[in-house]
Amino acid sequence: MDQFFTGEVIEWRGPAPYYFVSVPEEDGEALRAVALSASYGWGMLPIRARIGTTEWKTSLWPKDGGYLLPLKDAVRKPQGLDAGDAVDVQLTFDPQSRQVKRASDAAASTRARPPRSAGPREPVGAEQLKIVPANQAAASDLRAVFGERGDSARCWCQRFRMLPKESWASEGAEELAARLRDQTACGNPNAETTSGLIAYLDGEPVGWCAVAPRADHPRLLRDFRVPWQDRTEDKTDRTIWAVTCFVTRVGYRRRGISRALARAAADFARDRGARAVEGYPDLVDGGYVGTLATFADAGYSEASRPGRRRAVMRIDF
């Protein structure tokens, strides 16, 4: 199925400047008609897109009942496209769409099964885990870790990345999940950047850790006093990275997976040019930001303690 339309280039509202072509409403009707047979995870539609003489494989993203076409810089910049421009697009549905859907359904079925390690909670050594950058993991693995219920499935690690007046309720889980997919570039091993790590135990995705330049977190810079109180820190310094979130899959918790991820996050940041990495544990209940012991056992040292409940843990390289 081929489809031709003229759409407007729009700029993504997230913390990084990404661009999309908005599919007109009338063309979206035809896309929805084939979505049930062609879509995979989160309702995305695998397609081949063509603008001018440039053709590439990607997926349409569902958004507010319509669809958006991701417009990567390698396509946009050579053609001088920017937000507000109108562009002619040809879409061709990937002939392997049904195979992709079957594989995705099979993976989802596998992920839906109870974790294999729901028995004894013996500690997991770092050597037992395979920890990879999130862009090297499948989107279904990310979803398996975050689950379908609870705070992790509502927030999608966006607490410190949301913009003014945004909230879980105002944006919704689907939007926040899409932002995390964008930030991690999951399923794209050739991506130049990614914002986290995923841990595997015996082939099962079991844990997530968010790590990225501190300056990539608007709410961390604007509202969260912990990194800044009684310190002289440059908020725009992109060589300081932050570990902002841990999620451990149900059935694998309290086994040391977050500790291994915190240690791997330091190596990940250093290898990408960071001169320091920080974490901000909650001294009362830990939660998704981690515990003091998580960071201390991973080699972080206390840099400050702005109050009774929070600490700044840091490694300088």
DSSP codes of every residue in 53-71: TEEEEEEEEEETTEEEEEE
First to last CA, the chain: 53
> Which of 19, 29, 147 lies closest to 82 in space, CA to CA?
19
Query: What average pLDDT does the segment 203-224 reach?
Result: 94
Cα 85 from Cα 7, distance rounded (Å): 8
Query: What average pLDDT does the segment 140-169 reach?
Result: 89
- Cα 295 → chain centroid: 22
Q: Let me know the angle formed at the C-alpha of 100 by 151 and 155, rounded to the nearest 5 degrees.
A: 10
CATH topology of domain 115-316: Aminopeptidase (3.40.630)
Element (H or E) spanning 266, and its range?
A: helix 257-271
Query: Which band of pLDDT confidence, cut at 50, 70 and 90, is reported for residue 35?
Result: low
- Evaluated on CA atoms 176, 21, 186, 291, the torsion sign reads negative
Exposed/middle/buried for 201, CB within 10 Å: 0-12, 13-18, 19+?
A: buried
CB of 98 within 8 A of CB of 106? no
Q: Give SS3 for 255.
A: coil
DSSP secondary structure of 212-278: EEGGG-HHHHHT--TTTTT----TT-TTEEEEEEEEE-TTS-SSSHHHHHHHHHHHHHHHTT-SEEE
256: left (phi over 0), alpha (psi -120 to 50) or beta: left
User: Which residue spans of the chain are classified as CATH 2.40.30.100?
Assistant: 2-100
Angle, helices 97-112 vs 139-146, to 10°: value is 30
pLDDT at 308 over 80: yes
CATH number corresponding to 2-100? 2.40.30.100
pTM value surpassing 0.85: no
pLDDT at 120: 52
Print burial letters for 273-310: b (CB count within 10 Å at least 16), e (below 16).
ebebbbbbbbeeeeebbbbbebbbebebeebbbbeeeb
pLDDT at 305: 94
- In the beta sheet, which residues pair with residue 310? 282
> Are β-strands 19-22 and 204-213 bridged in parallel, bridged antiparallel, or unpaired?
unpaired
- Evaluated on CA atoms 97, 103, 108, 111, the torsion sign reads negative
> Which of 276, 313, 308 lies closest to 292 in space, CA to CA?
313
User: Which residue spans of the chain are classified as CATH 3.40.630.30?
Assistant: 115-316
Query: What average pLDDT does the segment 130-147 reach?
Result: 94
Q: pLDDT tens digit string along 170-212?
A: 888 999 999 999 999 998 999 989 999 999 999 999 999 999 9
Q: Token digits for 154?
A: 């509502």
Q: pLDDT tens digit string along 39-92?
A: 455 567 788 888 887 888 888 887 777 788 888 878 888 878 887 788 888 888
Cα 145 from Cα 204, distance rounded (Å): 9
